[in-house]
Amino acid sequence: MSGAYLASYVLSMVGNSLAGVVLPLVVLQVTGSAWGAGVVAAVSVVPAVLAGLFTGVVIDRIDRRTASVLTDLVSAAAIGMLPLVELVGELSLGWFVASAVLGSLGDVPGLTAREALLPAIVRHGGMGAERLTGMREGLGALALLLGPAGAGALMVLLDGAAALWITAAASLAAALVTLLIPRGVGAVGGDTADGGRARLREGWLVLVRSPFLMAVTGLSLAAVFVLAAFQALILPVAFLDRPGLLGFVLSAMAAGMLVGGVLYAVAGRRGSRRAWFVAGLAGVTGGFALIAALSSAEIVLAGAFAVGLSSGLFNGLLGVLMIERIPEAMRGRIMGTQNAMMTAAAPVAVFVAAALTEAAGPEAAAVILVAVWAVAAAASLSVRALRTLEETDGAAEGVRA
């Protein structure tokens, strides 16, 4: 069961990783316009955020296994429609926009459904939470590491939109593998609210009233904000004369996440959780500082690897804490809200980074971003809800909130 869960997770990540590279290239080939690629990326943000917010109610009403399958099928259909249209007619910007909107309805809800299913896999799958979350982080990083290379190969071997058949097949395969998980494993119970609006409000109240969940959400938002700004704007501007370096930076970060995830899977139960938490924060902070130096390629790559390694440890720990501290019946709504916030944070970060870079240059913008993260990290160390993280101390925090 744990194997099926991890395999479906990897396949879904591979599909997203391939699509993230192949789709913009196909849009450029068909439309001949960078503006078209930007439009396709932009129009998917709002539906993705709204889907993350509101589909959590549905995920908390139906079997999480079923929700995972349905969202992967939506993602497969959104990508698969493009090569199908090319076979019978002619692709245009409108078709790409339609695909982006439909795909946004599967991506964030799919991530939420799979995360909401995780506690049931831990209970029924015979694999400890630390090992399962660590392996998930490591395998997800491996998918991100191999995805761009696979996308490049597909664009060479296949013509135009035909490469998207493979990305759609990966999402379809994820849905089929999820069906190997026994029926009923992701069943939901215990929801007390009546009506969709009341259920959504109930989930929001649990989130905002829980010091632990608010602290973790804020820290995660800060990490996404800083990382997105570096990846999408600061580094491309700073290394405009060396465009290939950005790909190596992303690969170094993914390699670090792979190592960090595997390390947490192996050793996550040893030592105190507070020590893992502090080590992860310190590593991410040091890595961001190295990247922000914007000096030699070697230093930036070392910083990217450090950020990835520490994120792998940190995300593994957070995954375990989320299993323990989010009420089972509200997992979809709370995680859906968190994922929607992360989705919205990335484009906001790029806009802010662009304004800072335009006003003060990439070097100053990088320093400001690291300062933002340092403040968030220092604040998290002083939050009472994050001081004691052991399983017996506050495992029901989300229920008590």
pLDDT value at residue 389: 85
Per-residue pLDDT tens for 268-289?
Answer: 888 889 999 999 999 999 999 9
Phi, psi of 260 (to 5 degrees): -65, -40
Phi, psi of 390 (to 5 degrees): -70, 155
Q: 93-125 and 64-88 helices cross at what angle (nearest 10)?
A: 150
Residue with tokens 């904000």: 225
Residue with tokens 């998917």: 44
- Torsion angle, alpha carbons of 66, 69, 73, 76, to 10: 160
pLDDT value at residue 303: 95
Per-residue pLDDT tens for 376-400?
Answer: 999 999 888 888 888 654 444 433 3
pLDDT value at residue 400: 36
Task: List the chain residues with pLDDT less than 70.
Answer: 33-34, 37, 160, 189-196, 243-244, 391-401
pLDDT value at residue 196: 67
Q: Count of CB atoms within 10 A of residue 271's CB?
A: 10
Q: Compute the distance between CA of residue 39 and CA of residue 18 in angstroms, rounded to an integer.
A: 19
pLDDT value at residue 175: 93
pLDDT value at residue 191: 53
Domains of the chain: 1-180 (1.20.1250.20), 194-387+395-399 (1.20.1250.20)
pLDDT value at residue 396: 42
